[in-house]
């Protein structure tokens, strides 16, 4: 049997000391503070913590003084439910559903951020990162301005085709975001695209793009010949003028 020193009598230190004792050694716990302070209104133990305490022989005691949390809700500042997990269904989720890692996208500003990331991946030429932002059933609808493009590209395979078609057509291109804002559930973007053709001619054009979402990913984007057209499609009656859009 060995004497094993554990520094700190927090939950980590105390569990380590208990494990040392269960292994047949003698723990010596050193704690610098004189006494504990009770803070907080309750203690929520996640399943892995309960399993760990069970392995240390404290499962019964924990169950005796605790009560199961049937469900946990995560809400935004306005009180809307962002996500829910637990043993009872809520918001259409089945019991035991885990929290979705991309849940932050339910926040409006996160949609705008996601869209900005799409252009970043395009400018960086990072196809895997671009695809990671796309829903498996994504629909990319082009403006019709370039006959070399299909009208619509569907799914990740379609997105790859679109990506390759653009690179086939142009030697280089970059996209600059003029405006990017939330309109209802959609994100409306004014972009200035600069393309250099294989013949060396550089062309600049402003487009309106309209994005919509599903499962916290890009479900579709439609390109319009102008911001005004895109704004009208987004439901902004009349839509702002191009001059206003550039302000």
Ligand X SMILES: Cc1cc2nc3c(=O)[nH]c(=O)nc-3n(C[C@H](O)[C@H](O)[C@H](O)COP(=O)(O)OP(=O)(O)OC[C@H]3O[C@@H](n4cnc5c(N)ncnc54)[C@H](O)[C@@H]3O)c2cc1C
Q: Kindly list the residues in this chain that would bind ligand X in the complex (CB under 6 A).
A: 7-13, 30-33, 39-40, 43-45, 49
In the complex, least distance from residue 15 CB atom to ligand X, rounded to whole angstroms: 8
Q: Which is nearer to ligand X, 11 or 157 (CB)?
A: 11
In the complex, least distance from residue 44 CB atom to ligand X, rounded to whole angstroms: 4
Residue nearest ligand X, CB atom distance: 10
Spatial CA neighbour of 20 closest among 7, 35, 33: 7
Alpha helices in the chain (DSSP H): 11-22, 47-55, 59-65, 108-124, 127-132, 155-169, 227-233, 242-246
d(CA 53, CA 61): 9
d(CA 26, CA 162): 66
In the complex, least distance from residue 28 CB atom to ligand X, rounded to whole angstroms: 12
> What residues does 182 pair with on adjacent strands?
187
Q: Which is nearer to ligand X, 7 or 132 (CB)?
A: 7
Question: Structure tokens of 140?
Answer: 């990319």
In the complex, least distance from residue 33 CB atom to ligand X, rounded to whole angstroms: 4
Spatial CA neighbour of 175 closest among 162, 187, 159, 189: 189
In the complex, least distance from residue 13 CB atom to ligand X, rounded to whole angstroms: 5
Q: 15, exposed or middle or buried, with CB in 10 Å at 0-12, 13-18, 19+?
A: middle
In the complex, least distance from residue 49 CB atom to ligand X, rounded to whole angstroms: 6
Q: Which is nearer to ligand X, 85 or 166 (CB)?
A: 85
Q: Which is nearer to ligand X, 32 or 98 (CB)?
A: 32
**C-alpha dihedral sign at 56, 60, 64, 66:** positive
Q: Which is nearer to ligand X, 42 or 128 (CB)?
A: 42
């Amino acid at each position: 049997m060995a004497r094993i020193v554990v520094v700190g009598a927090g939950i980590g230190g105390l569990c380590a000391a208990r494990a040392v004792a269960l292994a047949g050694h003698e723990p010596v716990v050193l704690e610098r503070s004189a006494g504990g302070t009770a803070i907080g209104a309750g203690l929520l133990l996640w399943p892995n913590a309960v399993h760990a305490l069970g392995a240390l022989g404290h499962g019964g005691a924990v169950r005796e003084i605790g009560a199961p949390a049937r469900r946990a809700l995560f809400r935004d500042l306005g009180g809307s439910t962002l996500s829910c997990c637990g043993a009872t269904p809520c918001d259409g989720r089945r019991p035991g559903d885990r929290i979705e890692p991309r849940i932050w996208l339910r926040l409006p500003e996160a949609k705008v951020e996601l869209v900005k990331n799409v252009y970043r991946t395009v400018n960086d030429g990072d196809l895997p990162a671009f695809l990671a932002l796309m829903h498996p059933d994504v629909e990319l609808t082009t403006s019709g301005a370039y006959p070399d493009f299909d009208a619509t590209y569907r799914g990740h395979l379609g997105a790859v085709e679109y990506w390759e078609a653009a690179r086939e057509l142009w030697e280089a291109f970059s996209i600059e975001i003029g405006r990017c804002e939330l309109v209802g559930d959609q994100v409306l973007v004014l972009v200035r695209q600069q393309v250099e053709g294989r013949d060396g001619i550089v062309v600049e054009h402003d487009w309106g793009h309209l994005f919509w979402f599903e499962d916290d990913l890009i479900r579709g984007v439609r390109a319009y010949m102008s911001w005004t057209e895109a704004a009208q499609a987004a439901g902004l009656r009349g839509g702002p003028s191009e001059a206003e859009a550039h302000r």
